């Protein structure tokens, strides 16, 4: 049975088109009709009236530590992944990477196995895994437990490249390994990002040549841009081919700096991430991160010393913040939440666009940019 999403203000090729109808069938978008087009529905077709609301590709979030009251590190299981994915789906994220922050290899192994099983069981919205550490620099540890940090070796590379289903993203500090080890990771099919790094501009440039293609939460937990020391930030902004995740919550990065980043990288290289913690979808204001108490205070997650510990941000909120803080058209903000991260993950032929043959992963937003409905593989849920 086909589903027709009618009367939509749909984002097609990064421009809104009013009066659009999108037909979903067998988990895919199989037709897109403009206002002037004539079409006939079958007798058994399902008709959904979008009431001129915004219909966009579902959001793709590459950095999701938790949600629904759970953190992936605490219990890396299929049940935890399902709870996190359901919580974020309510805010428009139809594709996520459950993210494991620095931990021991047995925990990483369990997390990879859980993601493999979740994808095999078709848990909606799970695209793969993000392993953030433990190959990081203590000088830029943030909330990570540096007692977990270790050197990237062949044993770790074999483990990091062991996911059978979906994509694997690994965040590491380039100066804490070598270009040769990064090349080994990339050859295993792993997407590698630089983050939690105190590396020099030269360190990061070397890692980009070795296969690093992204930067994790640009500006945060990385060596800053200075006049005679460009650092990791300078390397990220200077490189035209890499992607940068950025947390647009008004706490991690100043709005003026957000705008400068967009002017430098462009919306086809800058992608919204949440770095969300367990509080998403709940009224919780306290939780533990590997034994450290974190409190939500004035909208931000901080430990007792005021160190930022992930965020209390969802993707619908990130889109709205980007629209307001970065002074960008809504179309550009939606691109940063869907098409750009899909491209970064190598999923540009299946996700991130409303086009024939793409997965029927969609989000419907009201004029206030609140999520009204989502579809994953053509299956809907009301918010």
The residues carrying an active-site annotation are: 275
Tokens representing residue 212 in the block: 């690093």
Strand locations in 59-138, DSSP E?
59-64, 66-67, 70-71, 93-101, 128-132
d(CA 378, CA 380): 6
d(CA 81, CA 166): 14
d(CA 195, CA 214): 9
- List all residues 6 or more positions away from 254 whose beta carbon is below 8 Å from its beta carbon: none
Q: How many other CB atoms are found less than 10 A from the CB of residue 169?
A: 25
d(CA 54, CA 71): 31
Q: Angle at Cα 310 formed by Cα 269 and Cα 257, nearest 5°?
A: 45
189 conformational bin, left if phi > 0, alpha if psi -120 to 50, beta if neither: left
Angstrom distances, CA of residue 360 to CA of 18, 262, 356 = 19, 29, 9
Q: Which residue, 46, 57, 44, is CA-closest to 6?
A: 46
Q: What letter does residue 174 receive in the DSSP assignment?
A: G
d(CA 136, CA 152): 9
Q: What letter does residue 175 receive in the DSSP assignment?
A: G
Dihedral pair phi/psi, residue 382, rounded to 5°? -90, 150
Q: How many other CB atoms are found less than 10 A from the CB of residue 170?
A: 27
Q: Which residue, 208, 177, 205, 206, is CA-closest to 193?
A: 208
Tokens representing residue 324 in the block: 């307001």
Dihedral pair phi/psi, residue 5, rounded to 5°? -95, 105
């Amino acid at each position: 049975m086909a589903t027709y999403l009618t009367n939509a203000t749909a984002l097609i090729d990064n421009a809104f088109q009013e009066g659009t109808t999108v037909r979903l069938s067998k988990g895919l978008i199989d037709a897109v009709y403009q206002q002037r087009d004539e079409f006939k529905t079958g007798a058994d077709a399902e008709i959904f009236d979008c009431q001129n609301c915004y219909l966009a590709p579902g959001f793709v979030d590459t950095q999701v530590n938790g949600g629904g009251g759970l953190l992936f590190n605490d219990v890396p299981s299929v049940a935890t992944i399902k709870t996190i994915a359901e919580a974020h789906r309510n805010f428009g994220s139809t594709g996520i990477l459950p993210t494991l922050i620095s931990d021991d290899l047995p925990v990483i192994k369990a997390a990879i196995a859980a993601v493999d099983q979740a994808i095999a069981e078709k848990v909606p919205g799970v695209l793969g895994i993000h392993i953030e550490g433990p190959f990081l620099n203590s000088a830029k540890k943030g909330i990570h437990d540096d007692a977990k940090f270790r050197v990237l070796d062949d044993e770790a590379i074999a483990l990091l490249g062991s996911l059978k289903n979906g994509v694997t993203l690994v965040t590491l500090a380039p100066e804490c390994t070598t270009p040769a080890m990064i090349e080994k990771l990339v050859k295993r099919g792993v997407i590698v990002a630089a983050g939690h790094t105190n590396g020099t501009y030269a360190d990061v440039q070397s890692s980009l040549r070795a296969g690093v293609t992204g930067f994790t939460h640009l500006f945060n937990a990385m060596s800053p841009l200075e006049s005679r020391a460009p650092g990791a930030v300078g390397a990220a902004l200077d490189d035209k081919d890499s992607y940068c995740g950025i947390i647009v919550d008004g706490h991690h990065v100043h709005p003026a700096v957000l705008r400068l980043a967009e002017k430098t990288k462009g919306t086809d290289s800058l992608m919204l991430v949440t770095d969300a913690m367990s509080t998403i979808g709940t009224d919780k204001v306290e939780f533990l991160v590997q034994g450290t108490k974190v409190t939500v205070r004035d909208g931000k997650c901080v430990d007792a010393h005021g160190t930022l510990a992930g965020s209390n941000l969802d993707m619908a909120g990130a889109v709205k913040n980007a629209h307001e803080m970065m002074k960008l058209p809504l179309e550009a903000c939606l691109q940063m939440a869907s098409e750009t991260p899909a491209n970064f993950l190598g999923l540009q032929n299946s996700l991130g666009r409303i086009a024939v043959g793409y997965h029927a992963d969609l989000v419907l937003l009201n004029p206030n940019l609140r999520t009204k409905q989502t579809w994953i593989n053509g299956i809907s849920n009301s918010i």
